[in-house]
Structure 1
Amino acid sequence: MPFSKLSEVNKIGPVSSTYQEELLQFHLEKLKRKQSHKQSHKRPSFTVTKEFILRFNRTQDFVNKEKLLEQARKNILRCKRKLGLKTLGSGKHVHLPSAWIEVTYLAQCKGEIQDEALSMLYASLDHASFDYDQLPALFFVAESVLYRLCCDAFKKAFLYSVEIKLAKIGYLIFLRLFVFFLHGHLESFKEHLLRLRPYLFALSSSEVSYYKYPNIFSNVQFILKTAEIIYKRELLESTFSTVGNMEGNENNFPDTDHLQLNQGGYKVNHLLWHCVAAWSCVQNNSPQLKDVLEHLISYKTQLQKKCWLDTELALLVLGEAAKLNMACLKTLMDLMRDFLSSILSTQSQEESYKEAYLSWAWNIVYIYTTIIAEICLYAATSDLRKTALIGFCNCKSAQKAYFPKEKSEQPELQQTNILSLLEYFSSKISDNCDQVVWIGYYGLVYNLVKMAWELQGDEEQDGFRNVIWAVLQKTKENEKDTRIQSAINIAQAELNDQADPFTRYSMKVPVSSGEEVFAKYIGWRIANTLSKLFFPSPNDPMPPLKKPGRKRPEMKYPSKKQEPMKKRVIHYSIRESRGLEVPLFPYPDYFTREDKELAKIIDHYWQEEMKIRKEQEAILEAKELKEKQLEEETRFQEIMKKREEKLHKQTKPYELPSKTTVIS
């Protein structure tokens, strides 16, 4: 059932059915039993229960509703602390598996609690590190998200803002599952994979409804393609197909030259391997970066292969390197320029081949628009951010590219910065244009709206934001294509902008509420994890991603699982060795460790000095008190002496005379 024109973007989806509630309760009880069995200390039990959700959604009384809302807000604050939103998921107070489940449970509450819970879950999945113990909770969240997409959201005739968040959360979940799959950690989770299969079937049949909205359609395609590869390897069967695979002969598994399953593991293509190598060189300031980038360019033709999942990961990793290094940014832009030139050329391509070719190529173009937008926002230097926006040229010539040209003009694609791509796509868009053209144009405009929102309030970036704002205003005035106008409306509704006519709040949600515009950290996490997996170091002190088994004596004897680690010459196959956990920060060097030790010593002596000061202050206080008492006694004796001299009485003023004295 296709979606109608965007008219109720910010409607809230319905609450899940009884089956979903029972499913959540089952996983909560299972996780609590597991925690009580593994941990010696007892963690606090879950306060969000099925009864609380039902009372929250069904209560009509205003007083009770306010009490339940206050309790839900307290649970939100407690979940924020358990998720470690301010510490990138690290700290003694953080426990991600239970927090993910509890936030997923809170997401069933209608209204603002649902929105904030989904935003918290998205932010946590973005910045959290990879840990093998997260997998059960990750599968539970995946099942819940797929259920909401297939059984709740798709039944409605309009696009809901909650669907956008669910699709973004689902993308991060399956991106994490694919990294765990590369490490070989999904072998013992076949039952969980089977539980996801009916929802993936339903999603594959309903993804056509999101065709008009590439921001959702891209996430859905990634979910299905990732699941297809994981099912092909772990369950040895293909259970569903994506839209791109439904055409022609593409329902087979991708080319065996690049994506191949064997007993050794899942083979990645050369392009992804070299992108990870480039990231490692940037991190280590290696002089081999130039050679790695030259080899990487030689594999640019692999962008044109149908194994687009590896290509997306490669661009994601190379984009993280481009945020730190200008040579990597130039390589990334050159790769995309050659890719667009090849797929949009009409010289030696048959029409039937071209249609099948473009059925998946738009995924690469759309993910690139998101990556280049993130570089504009989060690159390490202003030169990198400026280059991603206006390209490798001087400012005077760049002024011409600020606004899209008339469609009658056909500019050549020389660079793939944001403004050049905007000019190129705007000149080629039409009612019957290629899918790559309008989706690439859609992605640029959609991300420009979010960039302008992200940069607001930053005085240092006023010039940057003014350029983006001017481009958007010109696009609104000149572009009459409903697909591009829809990109602006959807982005504004997603951000809950004040200019959005369908907003349900009078004011925009503040940035401090946890709303994330872009996925800021997931690329960095994945690049670090893959670098540890592709290039393991025997001297690396990091703990393994997967915890060792209970049978520790077996480690004393050589085993067959240790043999592939010796064959480190084979760089393009990911063996079933266990990966390494990525720390929040790099392992400290000698000077950093010495600084920490010196800080400990200073803190120790400071505590000792504070203790001595407190003792001295206590002695002084006791001395002052004793002096005051002596002064009071002396003053009292003087008063009594004067009284005796005047009245010839030795009794105190408040004492009665003795009985014998009265009789006399």
Structure 2
Amino acid sequence: RPSYSVTRECILKFNHTENLREKERLKEQLTKNILRCKRRLGLKTLGSGKHVNIPGGWIEATYLAQCKGDIQEEALNVLYDSLDHASFDYCQLPALFFVAESVLYRLCCDAFQKTYLYSVEMKLAKIGYLVFLRLFVFFLHGHLGGFKAHLLRLQQYLNVLSLSEETYYKYPNIFSNVAFILKTSEIIYERVLLSESTFSPNGNTEGYENVYSDMESRLRFNQGGYEVNHLLWHCVAAWSCVQNNSPKLNNVLEHLNFHKTQLQNKCWLDSALALLVLAEAAKLNMVCLKALMDLVRDFILSIMSAQNQEESYKVNDFSWAWNIVYTYVTILAEICLYAATSDLRKTVFIGFCGCKSSQKNISLKDTVSEDEPVLREASVLGLLKYFSSKISENCNQLIWTGYYGLVYNLVRMSWELRGDEEQDGLRNTIWQTLQKTKDHEKDERIRIAVKIAQAELNDPTDPFTSYGTKVPPNVGDETLSKYIGWRIANTLSKLFFPSIDACAVPLKKLSIKQVQRKYPKKKEDPMKKRVLHFTVR
């Protein structure tokens, strides 16, 4: 063990010592450990480099997160950032299970005992979401068969976590992460622990040309009979077309639209993953953004129509639909911040119909006509108007959780953009929209969303009221996932459409030369994590 590694004694001594001088000395030592952990995880190089050891860094960050105070906050931020951007590698699985067990232990044995919600609890839920998202991708590759003992160790915590609905129901930002963890574990347990067979793709995946010429093919996995649905398959195909500038993109999107009803399947995990992948294509391509928005608009309208027909709603049981809507709302916020062009960021916020009259579209309830509201497009403002017009004490869970998610993410987006002069227009539009919502919305559930977001950011003050204080754009960590969607889309595209020299998830560590060739350092600016966007003003 290196002399600078974290030990149990050091953690206990730091948490319980009352000697201020000794506590400062220990804090200085632990701060150095945090810095070493950041370098070990390659936070400035997207997890590549000779000095990088992702599994070791995850374990060390998990140990450091047991310390109290600022050290804990920083360690959790480091762990979240690394889980967001690290590449997929088979050698990470033992460490990933260790992080999963640690997070579930903290949630079940610590968080549940508190009578109030605290910021660390929200970070743990977000980290847990990323961990199980990564485990699900490894599951699709068939790599979890040798980790049945690890899965059994998680079972007791997952049983306790399944009882948390009453605890987190009022906080969809946490409840959505918990629901994802439980749904993922349910599928993995059913297919891995209850089945002895192994994964084997059985479909037309010999190459892009063959794949795109036969869009009705499926990718079936024989372990437990799990089958990836058409919607996810076509979303991955669309992302691959965008990456390769393929002329068959329109053809793929036509087939994707043909399978849009699969978004209504009760097994919603594939659908959530499909939206995540399609969003990555939408960050680069306006046609894909249009397809994504139309897909979710039709989904919401179909669910609301089924709700009006009570018999159909009870038969189909769309109680899970809010998970899809909340996932989409979070994705919208990520596109607003990280899309490649200003046109994409403006369109996803205002919509295709409202780009010519953006100021009029900021108004909400106060100027809405008496006619029944119509959801024309699933942009941020379009959904905000639609949900705000339908909010009530007895409204569908889909309505108030979607509205909650929009307001919650507006606060996070405004915080992300503080001090970024390159996106003044978008920032001011977000701020005006948020202020109008706060002024006119009286529903306590929605007002809580603002308080929760501010508490999570540890910054209850409004960043737009302190004009005299210039905040650097790289202060703090991003609050939304920035790279995980791209990592997943890239990995699934290699799994669904394998080429001769491509390996979806490496079974052994890549050589340093391969890593540097795949992720050259010159493409990453170490001084600023946010992507630079230049506009003609």
> Is the TM value for this pair above 0.5?
yes
Alignment of 1:615-630 (within 5 A): none
> Using a 3 Å threshold, how does the CA distance of structure 1 residues 470 and 520 change in structure 2: closer, same or farther?
same
> Using a 3 Å threshold, how does the CA distance of structure 1 residues 464 and 348 change in structure 2: closer, same or farther?
closer
Matched, 1:229 2:190: no
In the other structure, the counterpart of 2:293 is 333
In the other structure, the counterpart of 1:546 is 507
Matched, 1:53 2:14: no
Distance in 1 (CA, whole Å) between partners of 2:379 and 2:264 is 20
Alignment of 1:409-488 (within 5 A): 410-488=372-450
Distance in 2 (CA, whole Å) between partners of 1:104 and 1:218 is 23
**Kept after mapping to 2: 8 A contact 1:259/1:307:** no
Deviation at 1:359, TM superposition (A): 1.2
> Using a 3 Å threshold, how does the CA distance of structure 1 residues 231 and 499 change in structure 2: closer, same or farther?
same
**Kept after mapping to 1: 8 A contact 2:40/2:57:** yes
**Kept after mapping to 2: 8 A contact 1:358/1:435:** no
Matched, 1:131 2:77: no
Q: How many residues align?
A: 488
**Kept after mapping to 2: 8 A contact 1:119/1:514:** no
Amino acid across the alignment from 1:436: L
Name the TM-score, length of structure 2 as normaliser. 0.86
Structure 2 residue corresponding to 1:373, chosen from 320, 333, 348: 333
Q: Is the partner of 2:413 in helix, strand or coil? A: helix
Alignment of 1:212-251 (within 5 A): 212-236=170-194
Amino acid across the alignment from 1:428: K
**Kept after mapping to 2: 8 A contact 1:496/1:508:** no
Distance in 1 (CA, whole Å) between partners of 2:221 and 2:65 is 38
Alignment of 1:13-412 (within 5 A): 44=2, 47-236=5-194, 262-263=222-223, 266-345=226-305, 349-351=309-311, 353-354=313-314, 357-393=317-353, 395-406=355-366, 410-412=372-374
Deviation string 1:598-620 (CA, Å, 9 cap, x unpaired) is: xxxxxxxxxxxxxxxxxxxxxxx
**Kept after mapping to 1: 8 A contact 2:491/2:504:** no
Gaps of 5+ in 1: 1-31, 33-43, 238-257, 501-506, 549-581, 593-664
Deviation string 1:559-609 (CA, Å, 9 cap, x unpaired) is: xxxxxxxxxxxxxxxxxxxxxxx9687599xxx9xxxxxxxxxxxxxxxxx
Q: Is the partner of 2:165 in helix, strand or coil? A: helix
Q: Is the partner of 1:344 in helix, strand or coil? A: helix
Deviation at 1:509, TM superposition (A): 10
> Using a 3 Å threshold, how does the CA distance of structure 1 residues 377 and 399 change in structure 2: closer, same or farther?
same
Deviation at 1:405, TM superposition (A): 2.1
> Using a 3 Å threshold, how does the CA distance of structure 1 residues 283 and 159 change in structure 2: closer, same or farther?
same
Structure 2 residue corresponding to 1:521, chosen from 483, 506, 513: 483
Amino acid across the alignment from 1:441: Y
Matched, 1:493 2:455: yes
Instruction: Indicate the RMSD between aligned Cα atoms, in angstroms.
Output: 2.5
Distance in 1 (CA, whole Å) between partners of 2:387 and 2:188 is 35
Name the TM-score, length of structure 1 as normaliser. 0.70
Deviation at 1:372, TM superposition (A): 1.1
Deviation at 1:543, TM superposition (A): 8.2
Deviation at 1:141, TM superposition (A): 0.5
> Using a 3 Å threshold, how does the CA distance of structure 1 residues 324 and 70 change in structure 2: closer, same or farther?
same
Deviation at 1:164, TM superposition (A): 0.3
Distance in 1 (CA, whole Å) between partners of 2:73 and 2:473 is 14
Amino acid across the alignment from 1:208: E
**Kept after mapping to 1: 8 A contact 2:41/2:53:** yes
Distance in 2 (CA, whole Å) between partners of 1:510 and 1:97 is 32
Distance in 1 (CA, whole Å) between partners of 2:375 and 2:436 is 21
Q: Is the partner of 2:145 in helix, strand or coil? A: coil
**Kept after mapping to 2: 8 A contact 1:496/1:509:** no
Q: Percent identity?
A: 71
Higher mean C-alpha deviation, range 264-273 or range 308-317 = 264-273
Specify the structure having the higher radius of gyration (Cα).
1
**Kept after mapping to 2: 8 A contact 1:409/1:427:** no
Q: Is the partner of 2:49 in helix, strand or coil? A: coil
> Using a 3 Å threshold, how does the CA distance of structure 1 residues 233 and 395 change in structure 2: closer, same or farther?
closer
In the other structure, the counterpart of 1:38 is none
Deviation string 1:361-380 (CA, Å, 9 cap, x unpaired) is: 00000000011111111111
Deviation string 1:292-323 (CA, Å, 9 cap, x unpaired) is: 00000000100111110000000000000000
Deviation at 1:142, TM superposition (A): 0.4
Distance in 2 (CA, whole Å) between partners of 1:362 and 1:52 is 44
Distance in 2 (CA, whole Å) between partners of 1:58 and 1:46 is 20
Deviation at 1:357, TM superposition (A): 2.8
Alignment of 1:582-597 (within 5 A): none
Q: Is the partner of 2:162 in helix, strand or coil? A: helix
Distance in 2 (CA, whole Å) between partners of 1:533 and 1:309 is 18
Amino acid across the alignment from 1:70: E
